Structure 1
Amino acid sequence: MSTSEGHSVLPTTSEDGVLTVRIKTSKEDLNEGIELDPIDRPSHSPESITEGVTGEENDEIVPLAKPLTTDTPEKLTSQTSVTFDPESTKERDTVIARMTSTDSSAPSTPKSPLSKRSPGISRQISSALLRRDSNLSVQESWRKKSASVRLKSSNNFVSFHNICYTVPQGYFWQHKPPKVILNDVSGIMRAGVNAIMGPSGSGKSTLLDILADRKDRRWVTGHVLINGEKQPHNFKCASGYVVQDDILTGTLTVKENVYLSALLRLPPEMDKDEKLEKVDEVIEELGISHVADTLIGTAFTRGISGGQRKRTSIARELVVSPGVLFLDEPTTGLDSTTAESVIQILHNLSKEGRVIIMSIHQPRYSIFRLCDHLMLLSRGVVVYTGVGRATLPYFTNTLGVECDEFENPADFFLDNLNETENASDPETGDIGHPLGNKWCDSEDYQILTDELNPLLDKAIDQPDGIAPKYATNPLTQTYYLFGRGMKKLLRDPIAGVVVWLQNIALGVFAGVIFYQLGDEENALLDRSGAIFFCMLCNLFTVATSLGLFVNERALFIHENSSGFYRVSSYFFSKIFGDLIPLRLLPVPFFSAIAYWMIGLQAEVGKFLLFMLGIFAQNMTAAGLVYSISAAVGTFSVAQIIYIVLLVFAMIFGGFFVSLNTVPSWVTWLQWLSYFKYTYAILLENELENTEFTYCARYNGTVCLFTTVEEGNDYLENLNFHQYNIYWNFLGLGLLALALFILTYIFLLRIKKTT
């Protein structure tokens, strides 16, 4: 019998019934060591399998209960084989326990070339012993061994009791019954890699979000305990969460993304040098130090690979050393090799005592074998929860189904779940959960219940714990977020340079079209049209902010939910980072070009008032754009809403139609039009104290006249004075303030519903 790489397995049987196997290999491979996989299935009969490794020159047998070290051959040859009498149940159980467990105290060693070339050797050895006695309770031995190892390494654990998640469906007039996503889900996750598996729509991500306190608690019933205590509010500040789609700032480097997380989430007692040292340590640990100074990448610039992005996302969470780390589908979008390397990193991190909980759909075998604990869900019901390596024996002994040789266990589990997921009772026709019912009737479920009930009874009467707080104050958070916005603005030409060029180009265009207007009879109409066009040009440039909150919606949700910053800090950083450099600072350039080319009144005071009016209009229009962007999650929908409201503001602005002719029941809408206030300011500024007496104000309406005499006669009977300009500025200010408050309310709504 030989392996694919030429390593031979030599079975022998002694007279006393002791089974022995010798695996022929080279001394070079022997020195590098062999790592066994205790859950692989066999490809040969039990009679040909036992324990030991033999070198070509030395005929000593090396036990395989633990991975071999890279020590000298003398140490290897000093060991002897472990044998047992087939009739002795006690000795057999001891060997099986050794073959199907790992020693937590043993130092971890990297996989050797032999283990990569000959994965079938470990399958043959471990699985044959496991199958030798069908009456052996492998599940029980695995559970006890795994629990003892975890409790020795760390006392961290997350338990959840009778979790139900129900959401309403349809609108209030449809009377649809609520949809049950999770139904009475209970379990416990200890230090190690804990995987939640199941078919699509089984509730994996929902359960993960509930454990991480990222679901609206109005629809959740049950209890989540952290180390036996009630889950505190704001638990997000004390845990880490890696979303399925890597949400990073593409215009920052790998190190800058991780460093920002450290600045916002590490305590202020640590100085920047200590935080930077922590960042370098985490980056080195995750193996991305060689791309630390590389940009993440955007749609216009090439950045790092998918696997490196995933490790960067993990690094942002690990920089705060969380005791519990959640990951939603961490292998999504990665090739099989990269996915395995990511899970291997998580497996290594779990040895430090971290509770790592991840949802995963259908992993390859090399990934599945790294899961210490496994929970299987089907249509929101628990099918199995326990030690990962005991799942196969559970399916065999309890459910009566057996995994074929060389079949991926994850595929085997999902095939069985999909087959029974839509099963129905032939007598009643009701859809049931056959596997879920069998789990509730199993002995392992009773053992789990006996373990969970005392935890809940002890914690139910406890007062709520002290909620973790944000590590930094709001001012510090705003400062760092504003700095990130400035870096993004400088490195993204679309966000910055184009807006400035657009303002300059439109200013030149307005100046060319209305170049040096004269004093002839039609001067009033031409000047009012030029002013209106200048207002409209600035509103087009403000529209580029529609994507401000839409494009960063996922980033804001993730970072705020993970305790990076408060909503107020993000709000002020975005307002200052977008309003000042992109909506206000370009105004002087536009105004200087358009005002003097058009030939409006050549007075410095009037020019400054013209520029101030454009400032006020842009600020109010920006408030409208921000509120739409925060309220709507889709850019195309936000664009449609803005266009409709822009048309409304233009109609009630007083340029196209006299507001005196508008029906009285809609005239009040004029006070919501920022066009009305801005147009009155700019037109009065241009025509006041001049020979152009073609206009008059009446209840906030600009009226145009056909002759100078008609205008003069009308003006004599009106109180037309400069203080009307300041009242219009006040109206713009109040409208802008209301829109900014509305934007903040929409951001709070996003936080509440996630």
Structure 2
Amino acid sequence: MPASVSQEEKEQKVEKLIQELGLGRVADSRVGTQLIRGISGGERKRTNIGMELIIDPPVLFLDEPTTGLDASTANSPRYSIYRLFDSLTLLVHGKQGTPVSPTTTRLTSSWTSSTETPALRLWPEQQRRITEGKKSSSSSSRSRTITYKTGFFTQFRWVLKRTFQNLLLNPQTSIAQIAVTLFLALIVGFIFFGVKNDPSGLQNSHEYISGYYRVSVYFLCKMLSDIIALRTIPAVVFSCVSYFMIGLKPTVAAFFTFMFSVTMVAYTATAMALAISADQTVVAIANIFMTIACVFMMIFAGLLVNLPSIASWLAWLKYFSIPRYGLAALQINEFTGEEFLDNQGVDWSTWGLWQNHVALGVMTFCFLTIAYLKLRFIRKFT
């Protein structure tokens, strides 16, 4: 609702709408998710209708709002339901017809067949004006833009608040993400527990180290909530567990560099997943593209193949590998050039370390831009 409406008026309107839709019993209940039962199907449909009515729309289209609620009345409503409507219009393929007797039809044909009829002489002019009216109407409808009742920052504040509330009220996904990350950190920590900085330890490390508001408001809020809850926290947990179990360089700077590198890789991978899946309506198709991208990046990450040994006409593909930048940053953070990095073709200077993070940041920005443009401009036809 517009900012000119007071908070008290908003609350009164919401309460009135809840009572009119018969949702008073579940006013303080959760709608529900795939993991939580929540309210019933009919109450969900009425909640969706209430979300549309709250802004006082001039016209409200309800496409089979009772479908799936009652098999016996879904397609054949009882008479008491029909009595609630003021008028009923039936459309057949966008046309309208009225019953006409055969006699009237013959009289009409006889009248229109005469070119001497005064009204008929005016028909071409009327037809031209109707055609021009249709053209102007269609052009104005194409140029019409969506208007918003509230400003950008008002939308941003409330959508961001709602997004974080959803995370707090439905923490199952976040808890599962952290639990999986903690489990993987323990596995990695046990595998590399107390690894030594000798040729054997280096070889093991090399072989096992292995996304009623503006679209912009929704996108920014989704990014902030996803980055904090589902990417940053798991990356911090993973780093805290695995770093000390493996026994990597025991300095504060090295530890936070490790954590920052892991977090940047998580951000970039998430942004890539969003860029790939933003315009996909079929999950299987998005999974195929993600699998192809991940396999490609793992090949050029420097784990399976020594990058300096790759042919020059293929070597440029390594710059599109997200794991390569993360692996190079972790190698520079842990080892020195004389021991390992020269053989791997890694620039172990100070800029050599931070250029990996800059590259990940640029890739994250590009992927997020692609995802936003897809959400903003690509229209899905159903």
Q: Does 1:721 align with 2:349?
A: yes
Instruction: Determine the C-alpha separation between the residues in 1 that align with 2:369 and 2:41.
Output: 39
Instruction: Determine the C-alpha separation between the residues in 1 that align with 2:168 and 2:12.
Output: 27
The 3 A distance-change label for structure 1 pair 493 and 632 is same
Give the corresponding residue for 1:197. none
Report the TM-score, using the length of structure 1 for normalisation: 0.44
Give the corresponding residue for 1:183. none
Query: Which one of the candidate residues 501, 510, 518 is aligned to 2:196?
Result: 518
What does residue range 53-452 of structure 1 map to in structure 2 within 5 Å?
266-335=1-70, 363-371=77-85, 372-377=87-92, 380-382=93-95, 384=97, 394=99
- Kindly provide the amino acid, as one letter, of the partner of residue 8 in structure 2: D
The 3 A distance-change label for structure 1 pair 524 and 297 is same
- Cα deviation 1:606-639 (Å, max 9, x = unaligned): 1111111111111110111111221212223222
Give the corresponding residue for 1:473. 151
The 3 A distance-change label for structure 1 pair 627 and 601 is same
Contact 1:632 1:638 in 2 (8 A): yes
Give, in angstroms, the shift of residue 483 of structure 1. 1.9
Give the corresponding residue for 2:341. 695
Instruction: Determine the C-alpha separation between the residues in 1 that align with 2:4 and 2:265.
Output: 44
The 3 A distance-change label for structure 1 pair 368 and 674 is same
Report the TM-score, using the length of structure 2 for normalisation: 0.83
- Kindly provide the amino acid, as one letter, of the partner of residue 228 in structure 2: I
Q: Does 1:733 align with 2:361?
A: yes
- Kindly provide the amino acid, as one letter, of the partner of residue 244 in structure 2: W
The 3 A distance-change label for structure 1 pair 685 and 457 is closer
Instruction: Determine the C-alpha separation between the residues in 1 that align with 2:66 and 2:299.
Output: 53
Contact 1:286 1:311 in 2 (8 A): yes
Give, in angstroms, the shift of residue 272 of structure 1. 2.3
Instruction: Determine the C-alpha separation between the residues in 1 that align with 2:53 and 2:155.
Output: 19
Report which of the two structures shows the higher radius of gyration computed on alpha carbons. Answer: 1
- Kindly provide the amino acid, as one letter, of the partner of residue 59 in structure 2: V
Give the corresponding residue for 1:653. 301
Aligned pair count reads 360
The 3 A distance-change label for structure 1 pair 458 and 603 is closer
The 3 A distance-change label for structure 1 pair 697 and 580 is farther
Secondary structure of the 2:97 match is: strand
- Cα deviation 1:80-134 (Å, max 9, x = unaligned): xxxxxxxxxxxxxxxxxxxxxxxxxxxxxxxxxxxxxxxxxxxxxxxxxxxxxxx
Instruction: Determine the C-alpha separation between the residues in 1 that align with 2:242 and 2:63.
Output: 53
Secondary structure of the 1:735 match is: helix
Instruction: Determine the C-alpha separation between the residues in 1 that align with 2:51 and 2:321.
Output: 45
Instruction: Determine the C-alpha separation between the residues in 2 that align with 1:696 and 1:322.
Output: 67
- Kindly provide the amino acid, as one letter, of the partner of residue 375 in structure 2: L
Give the corresponding residue for 1:684. 332
The 3 A distance-change label for structure 1 pair 587 and 486 is same
Give the corresponding residue for 2:238. 590
Contact 1:528 1:683 in 2 (8 A): no
Contact 1:375 1:382 in 2 (8 A): no
- Kindly provide the amino acid, as one letter, of the partner of residue 27 in structure 2: A
Contact 2:297 2:322 in 1 (8 A): yes
Which is richer in helix? 2
Secondary structure of the 2:172 match is: coil
Give the corresponding residue for 1:631. 279
Instruction: Between 644-653 and 269-278, report the one with greater CA deviation.
Output: 269-278
Secondary structure of the 1:643 match is: helix
Instruction: Determine the C-alpha separation between the residues in 2 that align with 1:587 and 1:741.
Output: 23
Instruction: Determine the C-alpha separation between the residues in 2 that align with 1:487 and 1:745.
Output: 27
Secondary structure of the 2:173 match is: coil
Give, in angstroms, the shift of residue 665 of structure 1. 2.9
Instruction: Determine the C-alpha separation between the residues in 2 that align with 1:457 and 1:663.
Output: 65
- Cα deviation 1:686-728 (Å, max 9, x = unaligned): 1027xx7133167xx35xxxxxxxxxxxxxxxx7522201111
The 3 A distance-change label for structure 1 pair 529 and 398 is farther
Give the corresponding residue for 1:742. 370
Which is richer in strand? 1
Contact 1:674 1:732 in 2 (8 A): yes
Q: Does 1:615 align with 2:258?
A: no
Instruction: Determine the C-alpha separation between the residues in 2 that align with 1:610 and 1:468.
Output: 46
Contact 1:508 1:593 in 2 (8 A): yes
Contact 2:325 2:360 in 1 (8 A): yes
- Kindly provide the amino acid, as one letter, of the partner of residue 331 in structure 1: T
- Cα deviation 1:231-279 (Å, max 9, x = unaligned): xxxxxxxxxxxxxxxxxxxxxxxxxxxxxxxxxxx10111222211111
Give, in angstroms, the shift of residue 752 of structure 1. 6.9
Secondary structure of the 1:298 match is: coil
Q: Does 1:502 align with 2:130?
A: no
- Kindly provide the amino acid, as one letter, of the partner of residue 670 in structure 1: K
Give, in angstroms, the shift of residue 479 of structure 1. 2.1
Instruction: Determine the C-alpha separation between the residues in 1 that align with 2:348 and 2:146.
Output: 60
Instruction: Determine the C-alpha separation between the residues in 1 that align with 2:42 and 2:375.
Output: 31
- Kindly provide the amino acid, as one letter, of the partner of residue 339 in structure 2: T
- Kindly provide the amino acid, as one letter, of the partner of residue 168 in structure 2: L
The 3 A distance-change label for structure 1 pair 461 and 605 is closer
Q: Which runs of 5+ in 1 are unaligned?
A: 1-265, 340-360, 386-393, 400-436, 442-451, 534-544, 546-563, 703-718
Instruction: Determine the C-alpha separation between the residues in 2 that align with 1:273 and 1:512.
Output: 58
Secondary structure of the 1:646 match is: helix
Secondary structure of the 1:696 match is: helix
Contact 2:178 2:234 in 1 (8 A): yes
Give the corresponding residue for 2:114. none
Instruction: Determine the C-alpha separation between the residues in 2 that align with 1:681 and 1:623.
Output: 20
Give, in angstroms, the shift of residue 586 of structure 1. 2.1
Instruction: Determine the C-alpha separation between the residues in 1 that align with 2:350 and 2:177.
Output: 34
Give, in angstroms, the shift of residue 589 of structure 1. 1.6
- Kindly provide the amino acid, as one letter, of the partner of residue 286 in structure 1: L
The 3 A distance-change label for structure 1 pair 622 and 332 is same
- The root-mean-square deviation of aligned C-alpha atoms, in Å, is 3.3
- Cα deviation 1:454-479 (Å, max 9, x = unaligned): 99877876895985621122222222
